[in-house]
Amino acid sequence: MKQVTIVSGKGGTGKTTITASFAALARRVVVADCDVDAAVLHLLLDPQVISEQEFKGSKLASIDTVRCVECGLCQRACRFGAIKGLEIDPVLCEGCGVCAHVCPVGAISLRERIAGRLFISETRFGPMSHARLYAAEANSGKLVALVRHEARRLADREGLDIILADGPPGIGCPVIASLTGVDIAIIVTEPTMSGFHDLRRILSLARHFKTTSSVIVNMWDINQENTRRISQFCEQEGTKVLARIPFDPKVTEAMVAGKSVVEYSPDSTASAEIRVAWDGARDLLGVGSGRRE
Amino acid sequence: MNSHEPRMTISIASGKGGTGKTTVAVNMALSLEKDVQLLDCDVEEPNAHLFIRPRIDEARPVYLPTPKIDERLCDHCGKCSEFCEFHAIAVVGNKAMIFSELCHGCGGCVLVCPKKAIVEENRQVGIVKKGVMGNIELVYGELNVGEPMSVPVIREVKMSIDPNRTTIIDAPPGTSCPVIESIHGTDYCLLVSEPTPFGLHDLKLMVEVLKEIKIPFGVVVNRAGIGDRKIYDYCRAENIPILLEIPFDRRIAELYSRGILFTTETPEWKNRFRSLLSNIMERVGAPTASGSRKGFVKET
């Protein structure tokens, strides 16, 4: 089983557009949406939910105001500033349990909070594991790990050999959870100062976890000079640039139509280059190449 | 506190990444002629400094207290590991192991250890940098690569909020803890979106978040002209004000790609950003003093 995760560092560079297109080109794969707090892959893949379950995230302290003697020990012990008087601020509370431990009258307990839902679905390109973290909830890394766990189960069950995961932006906990143990990370960048800056950071994160990575430059023609610099940088770093996708209004049109761009407009310039990227990714994975020039 | 000038803290968020949060934050800061603070709370991938290019006057490491076990005192009872909600300590046989990346620094293990075998030491998880360029004081954080938790670095960035100046906070993408930490306690949140299905979907998620944590908000539509009109229908139906539209313009995208702010090239936009700010001030009733703001109470 081979696992590919699409990441970017910077948001909005085209991760989901590329993931959906790869799924369409692969025809049958397991798809995992690891961007659990702003998931949008379902808008292109239209998954039909087969089963779902609750996700329990971090805990939340709660004060029994009848038992509380207002000694203030909990407030002093809480390092997150989450207790003010008799109130727990659910945003600041990290569920560590220190307040419950120091309370001399046992007035504080930790409760589990339902932080989201996990879905197993079927799409036109194969089974999909995805999730929804509820508004303002924490612990997205744990939910990502769960989404990937379910994706591996689906791959085993259906005998599919590729898991294609759409990752979140950034380099923090949900990204780390999306990258650990994958065969290749595909980093989607754009030729902007921000895109380049963020590429360096996500690339060193992939290195840190000893993940093989390769790069796609999206909207490369917005700034050809920067594209050249990014390609040069990748060469120095020994990272393969799989493709350079041009800016193409068909990408947004496809999104509005709820389709991947390779389905919506197979003859577009963006689609042609996405096919080149997918062939390159298959080569790296060693699952047989597609066409060659 | 000598200032009676209206001031406030505005956060800029989006849900979806790459919709133009930094573009709006930086252009707004630059358009104001008076002193303003700009806080880049996207500590995983900070970008505001690429546009502001300040001289860095101060760089302060961010530490998180992390446990260290004195093996001479530890009798491997396992109480620390049992207590830790974050699975950052494991006691296996005669060995206690710390997984420092998972530690939230709550100090619980120290409290529960019956042998007083645990002490805390500071571990660097990131850095906060400060610098000035023109009227803007920029404060931004950088999470160390490989560290999963950005919240402690965001808290440290927010410790710099000056209650006497208007502060603009550039939040990270998403809707989970780092975003909430960034926008928490701000007077108003500007949601930057784009008129596409992805933009609208994530805008709705952010609206849910803001209703939940009770912060007033309005929308900036960036790249207006692409996609469809559904974002406008949604905002009208939900009675959400659209405070500014920035058209899709390849020239703006190209300037952005070179790290150049489009307000410096097209001065009429400075006025639009200034009126955006005064519009927001009217909406929140322009507080003159910030009152008490939440901050991370550091143990020393």
H-run or E-run covering A88: strand A87-88
Average pLDDT of chain A? 95
| Domain of A70, in residue numbers | 57-114
- Say whether both A148 and A62 belong to one domain: no
Among B148, B228, B297, whose Cβ lies nearest the Cβ of A173? Answer: B148
- The answer to whether the CB atoms of B176 and A137 lie below 8 A apart is yes
Q: Judge whether residue B290 has pLDDT over 80.
A: no
ipTM of the shown complex: 0.92
Which chain A residues are within 8 Å of B150, Cβ to Cβ?
A: 170, 172-173
Q: What pTM was estimated for this model as a whole?
A: 0.92
pLDDT in tens, B128-164: 999 999 999 999 999 999 999 999 999 999 999 999 9
Whether residues A40 and B181 touch (CB distance < 8 A) is answered with no
Q: A232 and A192, same structural domain?
A: yes
**Domain at B9-62+125-284, CATH homologous superfamily:** P-loop containing nucleotide triphosphate hydrolases (3.40.50.300)
- Whether residues B175 and A37 touch (CB distance < 8 A) is answered with yes
Considering the domain architecture, whether residues A9 and A88 belong to the same structural domain is answered as: no
CATH of the domain at A215: 3.40.50.300
User: Which among B106, B184, B197 has CB closest to A256?
Assistant: B197
Last residue of a domain, one of A70, A85, A114: A114
- Does B296 have pLDDT greater than 50? no
pLDDT of A293 > 80? The answer is no
| Residue of chain B whose Cα is closest to the Cα of A175 | B148
Residues of chain A in contact with residue B295, where contact means CB-CB under 8 angstroms, are 81
pLDDT above 70: residue A289 = no
Q: CB A172 to CB B143 under 8 A?
A: yes
Residue B293 has pLDDT above 60, yes or no: no
* Amino acid present at A46: D
| A290 located within any domain | no
How confident is the model over B85-92, as a mean pLDDT?
93
In angstroms, rounded to a whole number, what is the distance separating the alpha carbons of residues A12 and A32? Answer: 18
Residue A49: in which H helix or E strand, if any? strand A48-63
Contact B108 A96 (CB under 8 A): yes
Q: Do A138 and B85 touch (CB under 8 A)?
A: no
Supply B24's token pair.
């709006």
A265 and A202 assigned to the same domain: yes
| Segments of chain B assigned to CATH 3.40.50.300 | 9-62+125-284
Query: Which among A9, A135, A193 has the least Cβ separation from residue B175?
Result: A135
Which spans in chain A are helix H?
A: 15-26, 42-45, 73-77, 98-102, 140-158, 173-179, 193-208, 224-237, 250-256, 261-264, 269-285
For residues A78 and A182, state if they share a domain: no
pLDDT the model gives residue A288: 64
Residues of chain B contacting residue A113, judged by C-beta atoms under 8 Å apart: none
| CATH number of the CATH domain containing A71 | 3.30.70.20
- From A290's Cα to the closest Cα of chain B, the distance in A is 30
CA separation, residue B154 to residues A34, A176, B129 (Å) = 23, 18, 12
Structure tokens at A248: 């193409």
Residues of A in contact with B213 (CB under 8 A): 91, 136
Is the residue at A200 inside a domain?
yes
**Option in A97, A133, A194 nearest B22 (CB):** A194
- pLDDT(B172) > 90: yes
CB contact under 8 A, B258 and A193: yes
Q: Is the pLDDT of residue B20 over 70?
A: yes
How far A157 CA lies from chain B's nearest CA (Å)? 30
What are the strands, taking DSSP E only, across B4-117? Answer: 9-13, 36-40, 55-69, 89-92, 95-98
Is pLDDT of B168 > 90?
A: yes
Chain region(s) in chain B for CATH 3.30.70.20: 71-116
Determine which of A59, A73, A74, A79 to mutate to test the interface with B (most B C-beta atoms within 10 Å): A79
Closest partner CB to A13 (pick from B18, B174, B256): B18
Architecture of domain B71-116: 2-Layer Sandwich (3.30)
Q: How many domains is chain A partitioned into structurally?
A: 2
Of A91, A114, A137, the one marking the end of a domain is A114
Position B244 confidence tier, pLDDT thresholds 50, 70, 90: very high
Alpha-carbon distance B197 to nearest alpha carbon in chain A (angstroms): 6
pLDDT of residue B299: 32
Kindly report which listed range (A80-84, A100-104, B6-10) carries the lowest average pLDDT score. B6-10
Among A80, A114, A148, residue at a domain's last position: A114
Separation CA A174–CA B178 (nearest Å): 11
Secondary structure class of A102 (helix, strand, coil): helix
Whole-angstrom distance, CA of residue B89 vs CA of residue B111: 14
A-B contacts at Cβ under 8 angstroms: 203
Whether A58 sits inside 8 A of B85 (CB atoms) is: yes
The whole-angstrom distance between B143's CA and the closest CA on chain A is: 8
Largest CA distance in chain A: 77
By DSSP bridging, strand A2-7 and strand A162-166 are: parallel
Q: Are residues A194 and A240 in the same domain?
A: yes
Does B265 have pLDDT greater than 50? yes
Model pLDDT for residues A134-171, shown as the tens digit of each residue: 887 877 899 999 999 999 999 999 999 999 999 999 99
Q: Within this chain, do residues A199 and A89 fall inside the same structural domain, yes or no?
A: no
- What is the SS3 assignment for A123? strand
Nearest-CB residue to B196 (from A138, A201, A252): A252
Q: What angle do the packed helices A193-208 and B250-257 form, to 10 degrees?
A: 50
Residue B2 pLDDT grade (very low, low, confident, very high; cuts 50, 70, 90): very low
The residue of chain A with its CA nearest to that of B146 is A205
Helix (H) or strand (E) holding B149: none
Q: Which of A40, A56, A211, A250 to mutate to test the interface with B (most CBs of B within 10 A)?
A: A40
From B85, B106, B172, residue closest to A170, measured CB to CB:
B172
Task: Assess whether A151 and A257 both reside in one domain.
Answer: yes
